[in-house]
Structure 1
Amino acid sequence: MYKVWKIINNYSLLLIGGAILALVWANVSPDSYHHFVHYPLIENFFIGQLEEVNGETHRVLTVHYLFNDVLMALFFAIAAKEVWEAIILEEGSLRGRKAATPLIATLGGMAGPVVMFFALAFILWPATVPDVAHGWAIPTATDIAFSYLVGRLVFGAGHPAIRFLLLLAIADDAGGLLILAIFYPTGELAPQWLILSFGVCLAVFLLFNWLPRKLDGDNLSSPRGTWVRENLGSMPYLIAGAISWYAFQEAGIHPALGLLPLIPAIPHADQAYGFFAQEEENMTDLLNRLEHALKVPVQLVLFGFGLSNAGVEFAAIGEPTWLVLFGLLLGKPLGIFLMGWIAAYPLRLGLPEGMNLRDLLALGCVAAIGFTVALFVASVAFPAGEVQDAAKMGALFSFGAAAVSLVVGKLVGVRKVHD
């Protein structure tokens, strides 16, 4: 039973379950599904989506807002933790020459879908361009967990392409977070609120992380640091996280990103093992302990996210569906392959030992699974309605990249490497 749950936990199968349930529910009883998703949990609240009633604006906490804007902050915090450690730690996977080719390939994997999205829109459906243009970022996403799972099926667990894929997916997440913050505000921007967010995160870092270590100096017993850990634990960071989240909401930036400034403030390990690394389960630093504590809750959050976002009627399939889908299935593999080739050969940065261009092509197909983040971006890129539903369907259909990856892997002769 433990092994079964571990597979479910690691690969977000609860998210698939929530998405499938939403699809069935929305197509069997769409009215009851939308009533559930937009059900007002608390009206006239200090958090929630803005609504205007009788000329007055107030916030309403709905089921959809709870999952998308509040609880998904935990999911993005875990993604940000992996990005932060990959950048800041001495052995971080996004540092140095070894990360150069995956990072350049990531640029292609983000630019390729955007180019494909607009090229298809202008060529096939020019009249729809004004309606769909705001969704250009949807196909830039790569779902780390599902890409990892499919990558293992295509390459085997010991193939160097798996590490390349994870580096690319982590960098892709970092780019996606920046895109969300910059291009998809949730309301009128009020950047002064960001002073509160970054200020409280800086304060908690100085008071509960830097200062105890500074006062302990070379004292190996670390009495002050130990007192902070044993008596305060994660409480200062939880309070700072709540304040930071609220500041993002008020700043007009998507509040699901509200925990990002907090990640660098939390005491972290001095060694990086990489995404999904078994060794991290034994790390005792606060950042890793918080990640482990959040793993199960985040899977339940992803179930709720899938349930409240994937309920799209099949009748909604339209031009945005194909733009998102082919942006992922065509644009991402082509972009990754082209930029990966440029990095490896004209720039002479090379590919990892044991990996070749055929593997790079198959890897690009694996990375085309957008799902979670693509679904999230679709929900913020367009207002609720036909265009949003059609774009979401494209994100859901990107699961087809799994089948494409397996076929391409066979056709190009990818050699599986097991542990």
Structure 2
Amino acid sequence: MYKVWKIINNYSLLLIGGAILALVWANLSPEGYHHFVHLALIEDFFIGAPETVNGETHRVLTLHYLFNDVLMALFFAMAAKEVWEAIILEEGSLRGRKAAAPLIATLGGMAGPVLMFFALAFLIWPETVPDVSNGWAIPTATDIAFSYLVGRLVFGAGHPAIRFLLLLAIADDAGGLMILAVFYPTGELAPQWLLLSFGACIAVFLLCNWLPRRLDGTNPASPRGTWVRENLGSIPYLAAGAVSWYAFQEAGIHPALGLLPLIPAIPHADQAYGFFAEEEADQHDLLNRLEHALKVPVQIVLFGFGLTNAGVEFAAIGEPTWLVLFGLLLGKPLGIFLMGWLAAYPLRLGLPEGMNLRDLFTLGCVAAIGFTVALFVASVAFPAGEVQDAAKMGALFSFGAAVVALVVGRVLRVQKVEG
């Protein structure tokens, strides 16, 4: 049973299953599907999507809001954990010169799709520009999990391009989180609420992390830190996380990002083994223990996310579909290749040993899989309706980048390195 679950977890089969089920359901019974997705779980609640009736606004907790705005916060927290460790730890992958080339390539991987999106919109479908322009950020996304899996199929587990890909994908996630926070507010902005979020996170850091270590000083027994760990555990951090999430909702910033300020406050390990490293399961710091505890729940959340977001009728395919799709399939590889070349040669930062320009272009094709994050951005970039559904189709079709990457890798004779 463990081996079966490991396959399901490693290949995100629950997310894929949820997306396929949603597609089938939405095309066989669209009314039934949309009734299910927007089912009101609790009316007039303190969390939920705002609805205005007779001039009065109240919140309704729907199934869609539960997965997209509440539970997906766990997914983004796990992504933020990897970004934070990559930045803060001494051997973190986003520190120093070794991260420079992937970071510059990431800029190309985000700018290229945006430029391609608008270039196609203005040149081919200029009449659609006012309707689709808000979706510019959708093709900037890279799905870390699926890109990693396809990358291993193309390059092999031991190829230096895999590490480059993961660095790029982590940086891409960090950029995507900032884009969501800045450009896609969920309502009228009330930034004063962020004081509550940051206040809760700073308080829990000072009282449960910094202060016990300060009082223990050089005492190897760490009595106060041990007491906090054994008697309070994760409870103060869960409480601070709930407060931070609520503050983001009230601030008008997408609440799925509400746990991000909490990540730096949680005690973390002194070393990182890298993204998807199994060795992290043996780490005993609270941040890694929380991530390990969340892996199964997050897979279930991703199933629900796929089920409540991927239900698009094939009739919805239209201009936004192709703008998103070609932004990913064309803009992403070209942007990564051009900026990666700039970093490697004119800027003399170089590529990892054993990696060449053919690998760099193929890597760009792998990174064009937007899927999970692209679906998420599409759901917040447009209101529910034809444009959103068409854009979601583009995010779903970006799975085709896997086939493109495999073909490109074969044509360019990319050498697989197992290990």
TM-score range, shorter chain: over 0.9
Deviations 1:139-161 (A, max 9, x none): 00000000000000000000000
| 2:357 aligned residue | 357
| 1:192 aligned residue | 192
Give, as a single letter, the amino acid of the residue that structure 2 aligns with 1:274. Answer: G
Give, as a single letter, the amino acid of the residue that structure 1 aligns with 2:231. Answer: N
Give, as a single letter, the amino acid of the residue that structure 1 aligns with 2:213. Answer: R
| Secondary structure in structure 2 of the residue aligned to 1:60 | strand
**Pairing of 1:6-405 with structure 2 (within 5 A):** 6-405=6-405
Give, as a single letter, the amino acid of the residue that structure 2 aligns with 1:308. Answer: T
Looking at structure 1, the residues matched to 255 and 38 of structure 2 have their Cα atoms a distance apart, in angstroms, of: 18
Q: How far does residue 278 in structure 1 lie from its aligned partner after superposition?
A: 1.7
Q: How far does residue 279 in structure 1 lie from its aligned partner after superposition?
A: 1.3
Give, as a single letter, the amino acid of the residue that structure 1 aligns with 2:363. Answer: L
| Secondary structure in structure 1 of the residue aligned to 2:147 | helix
Identity of aligned residues (%): 88
* Structure 1 residue ranges (4+ consecutive) displaced by more than 6 angstroms after TM superposition: none
| Secondary structure in structure 2 of the residue aligned to 1:58 | strand
Q: How far does residue 263 in structure 1 lie from its aligned partner after superposition?
A: 0.1
Looking at structure 1, the residues matched to 169 and 242 of structure 2 have their Cα atoms a distance apart, in angstroms, of: 28
Looking at structure 1, the residues matched to 68 and 278 of structure 2 have their Cα atoms a distance apart, in angstroms, of: 29
| Secondary structure in structure 2 of the residue aligned to 1:42 | strand
Give, as a single letter, the amino acid of the residue that structure 2 aligns with 1:213. Answer: R
Looking at structure 1, the residues matched to 365 and 7 of structure 2 have their Cα atoms a distance apart, in angstroms, of: 23
| Secondary structure in structure 2 of the residue aligned to 1:384 | coil
Give, as a single letter, the amino acid of the residue that structure 2 aligns with 1:329. Answer: L
Looking at structure 2, the residues matched to 409 and 115 of structure 1 have their Cα atoms a distance apart, in angstroms, of: 25
Looking at structure 2, the residues matched to 222 and 189 of structure 1 have their Cα atoms a distance apart, in angstroms, of: 43
Deviations 1:279-306 (A, max 9, x none): 1110000000000000000000000000
Looking at structure 1, the residues matched to 119 and 256 of structure 2 have their Cα atoms a distance apart, in angstroms, of: 31
Structure 1, gaps ≥5 residues long: none
Looking at structure 2, the residues matched to 4 and 327 of structure 1 have their Cα atoms a distance apart, in angstroms, of: 36
Give, as a single letter, the amino acid of the residue that structure 2 aligns with 1:347. Answer: L
| Secondary structure in structure 2 of the residue aligned to 1:44 | strand
Structure 2, gaps ≥5 residues long: none
Moved more, 102-111 or 11-20: 11-20
Q: How far does residue 164 in structure 1 lie from its aligned partner after superposition?
A: 0.4
Looking at structure 1, the residues matched to 279 and 301 of structure 2 have their Cα atoms a distance apart, in angstroms, of: 25
Q: How far does residue 11 in structure 1 lie from its aligned partner after superposition?
A: 2.7
Looking at structure 2, the residues matched to 165 and 339 of structure 1 have their Cα atoms a distance apart, in angstroms, of: 14
Q: How far does residue 224 in structure 1 lie from its aligned partner after superposition?
A: 0.2
Q: How far does residue 7 in structure 1 lie from its aligned partner after superposition?
A: 2.2
Looking at structure 2, the residues matched to 19 and 144 of structure 1 have their Cα atoms a distance apart, in angstroms, of: 17
| Secondary structure in structure 2 of the residue aligned to 1:43 | strand
| Secondary structure in structure 1 of the residue aligned to 2:191 | coil
Q: How far does residue 367 in structure 1 lie from its aligned partner after superposition?
A: 0.1
Looking at structure 2, the residues matched to 284 and 389 of structure 1 have their Cα atoms a distance apart, in angstroms, of: 43
Q: How far does residue 322 in structure 1 lie from its aligned partner after superposition?
A: 0.1
Looking at structure 2, the residues matched to 192 and 378 of structure 1 have their Cα atoms a distance apart, in angstroms, of: 27
Q: How far does residue 84 in structure 1 lie from its aligned partner after superposition?
A: 0.2
Q: How far does residue 135 in structure 1 lie from its aligned partner after superposition?
A: 0.2
The TM-score normalised by the length of structure 2 is: 1.00
Looking at structure 2, the residues matched to 304 and 50 of structure 1 have their Cα atoms a distance apart, in angstroms, of: 21
| Secondary structure in structure 2 of the residue aligned to 1:198 | helix
Give, as a single letter, the amino acid of the residue that structure 1 aligns with 2:414. Answer: V
| Secondary structure in structure 1 of the residue aligned to 2:59 | strand
